Amino acid sequence: MSENLLRTRVEAIRRLARRRAGRPLVNVLQKTRGEDVAATMPHLAPAEQRFVFEHIVDEEMAAELLARVGEADLANLVKGVPLDRLVGLLDAMEVDDETDVIASLPEAIREQVMARIEKDDREHVEELMAWPEDSAGGIMQPVAFRLHADATCREAIQALQESDDVESVFYLYVENEAGQLVGVASLRNLLTHPPSTTLSEMMVPDVITVPPHLDQEEVARVVSRYDLLAVPVVDDHRRLQGIVTVDDVIDVIREEAAEDMMLMVGVHQAEADEQVGVLQSVRQRVAWLLITLLGGILIAEMAKMWEADIGAFPILAGFLPVVIGMGGNVGSQAATITVRGIALGRVEPRDILRVVWRESRIGLILGLAYGVILAIYCLARFDQPLFGVGVGIAITAAMATAAMAGAIVPLTLERMGIDPAVATMPFVTTLMDLVGGVIYFSVTTALIATTI
């Protein structure tokens, strides 16, 4: 659905929910996909969300909605829902989605649901919930299409036609007598080989796998690097535990990108989703803002060191924000690119010399360009030629230094085991405010002093 059509549909659903127009709402919902109904939930008040959910007549859509809404919206939607209906909706989901929903339910409801869902599903859910939610084991689908290596293509195709519990069949996973994963075959290979061909003859033995404890970001990198539609999850004995499919990987990439974006400005995702209270939000932000405050105090103390020079040449204070601002922007750009490279697995701490060399050259070229522009302006506007030269040199040095710092800080934090997305920006901006100020005052006052 296009964004314009989605917005129109959201407005229609919201308007009908507010008017409590049940019959027209049912008609609109029947023409809307479950994914798009889920997209409307953040735009509705809690009472309106429940009203919409109560008027979804398609149980498959209702299950899709529960699987896609956020934790706070989920808790609101299940209020007052009969337990039998909730269990029925959970049984209609794929096991990985079912696990995510159950894990997000209030504890009292979760215990009742676990006691009522189908036995096979309960075993799979308990298995998935045993792993961290952000690991390969936590996001995998435990049911995969697997057969013994001695099976033929004819038998594999027949087994696939008879299977009804496999979520997404992208590959056929081949196992030996000990239940170990020994190969993989695409569905295309099943159709292009003679029916009597055994799987051991046509499989690819070099299988790309991930362990269940691997972080979901690393799983996403593996899938992206090898252009896979699904990656098998195996234990230490190469026994197949499940698969992580590409749709789950897309969700991981989206979630991690949003989380990193929030963390780079010192905000947690739960706070962005308004799932925490005011005081908790204050506690989460205060540490990083304190770094900025201390940096500001140090800048004030630094400016006091050059108080006499500023008094003699007031124009010195006027260009300080320009130098600091330009340096801070370049440093933030370099830091953002470096953090992104780390997140995507393209940059590692051992690449620090290469990354610093590249960013320092970019910063130097940008600094020279803007330094010349600012120097020309100062020379034309003020009767202090050396001051203009000093400002140009200062902004060039500040921008080159900032670019280097933007590359060094996140890679250093990564080597120290600290998430660079969390701590990079406060350190880079505060550091460049201090360094930029020192460079600016040192260069300009030294040059001006030669004219006295």
Mean predicted confidence (pLDDT) in 339-356: 83
- Greater confidence, 429 or 411? 411
The tokens of 242 are what? 């499940």
Helix (H) or strand (E) holding 50: helix 46-54
Check whether 255 has a pLDDT greater than 90. no
Bridge partner list, 183: 174
For residue 196, the number of C-alpha atoms closer than 13 Å in the C-beta half-sphere is 0
What is the pLDDT at residue 385? 74
Mean predicted confidence (pLDDT) in 424-441: 81
Range of lowest pLDDT (60-74, 265-279, 285-299):
265-279
Check whether 452 has a pLDDT greater than 70. no
Quick one: DSSP state of residue 2?
-
Which residue type is seen at 245?
A: T
Check whether 274 has a pLDDT greater than 70. no
Q: Mapping DSSP to helix (H, G, I), strand (E, B) and coil, where does residue 210 land? A: strand
CA distances from 299 to 239, 294, 435, 447 (A): 59, 9, 9, 21
Mean predicted confidence (pLDDT) in 10-23: 87
CA angle 291, 297, 299 (to 5 degrees): 105
- Cα separation, 29 vs 41, whole angstroms: 13
Mean pLDDT of the chain: 84
CATH superfamily of 146-251: CBS-domain (3.10.580.10)
- Cα separation, 245 vs 133, whole angstroms: 15
Reported as a pLDDT band with limits 50, 70 and 90, residue 202 is very high
- Are the CB atoms for 410 and 249 separated by under 8 Å? no
Mean predicted confidence (pLDDT) in 178-201: 93
Closest CA to 444 of 364, 382, 390, 386: 390
Q: Where are the domains of the chain?
A: 3-134, 146-251, 270-449
- Cα separation, 443 vs 392, whole angstroms: 10
What is the pLDDT at residue 244? 94
98-103 CB contacts, 8 Å cutoff, 24+ apart: 98/67, 98/125, 99/124, 99/125, 99/128, 99/129, 100/67, 100/133, 101/66, 101/67, 101/74, 102/129, 103/129, 103/133
The two counts, helices (H) then strands (E), for the chain are 23, 5
- Greater confidence, 298 or 5? 298
Measure CA of the first residue to CA of the last residue in the chain; give whole Å: 70
CA distances from 244 to 84, 144, 166, 317, 343 (A): 30, 10, 13, 57, 19
Mean predicted confidence (pLDDT) in 380-397: 82
- Cα separation, 133 vs 139, whole angstroms: 7
What is the pLDDT at residue 271? 44
CA distances from 346 to 95, 174, 220, 224 (A): 33, 32, 13, 12
The tokens of 343 are what? 């997140």
- Greater confidence, 250 or 305? 250
The tokens of 169 are what? 């069949």
Give percent of the chain with pLDDT exceeding 90. Answer: 27
Domain 3-134 has CATH 1.10.150.20: no
Interstrand relation of 146-148 and 171-175 (parallel, antiparallel or unpaired): parallel
Check whether 95 has a pLDDT greater than 70. yes
CA angle 385, 386, 387 (to 5 degrees): 90
Reported as a pLDDT band with limits 50, 70 and 90, residue 265 is low
User: 389-421: per-residue pLDDT in tens?
Assistant: 888 888 999 999 999 999 998 899 888 887 776
Q: Give whichever of 40-49, 111-120, 144-153, 268-277 has the largest mean pLDDT.
A: 144-153
Reported as a pLDDT band with limits 50, 70 and 90, residue 108 is confident
Buried b (16+ CB within 10 A) or exposed e, 229-258: ebbbbbeeebebbbbbbbebbeebbeebee
- Cα separation, 261 vs 34, whole angstroms: 28
Reported as a pLDDT band with limits 50, 70 and 90, residue 287 is low
Closest CA to 32 of 12, 51, 15: 12
Closest CA to 423 of 287, 264, 274: 264
Check whether 235 has a pLDDT greater than 90. yes
Check whether 200 has a pLDDT greater than 90. yes
Range of lowest pLDDT (125-139, 202-216, 294-308, 396-410):
294-308
Largest CA distance in the chain: 96
Range of lowest pLDDT (103-107, 370-374, 446-450):
446-450
What is the pLDDT at residue 53? 92
For residue 216, the number of C-alpha atoms closer than 13 Å in the C-beta half-sphere is 23
- For 92-227, list the strands marked E by DSSP: 146-148, 171-175, 181-186
Check whether 61 has a pLDDT greater than 50. yes
Mean predicted confidence (pLDDT) in 184-204: 93
- For 43-166, list the strands marked E by DSSP: 146-148
The domain defined by 270-449 folds into Tetracycline Repressor; domain 2 (1.10.357)
Check whether 303 has a pLDDT greater than 80. no
Q: Give whichever of 31-45, 305-319, 402-416, 422-436 has the largest mean pLDDT.
A: 402-416
Range of lowest pLDDT (189-198, 236-245, 333-342, 349-358):
333-342
Check whether 140 has a pLDDT greater than 60. yes
User: 217-229: per-residue pLDDT in tens?
Assistant: 889 889 988 889 9
What is the pLDDT at residue 166? 63
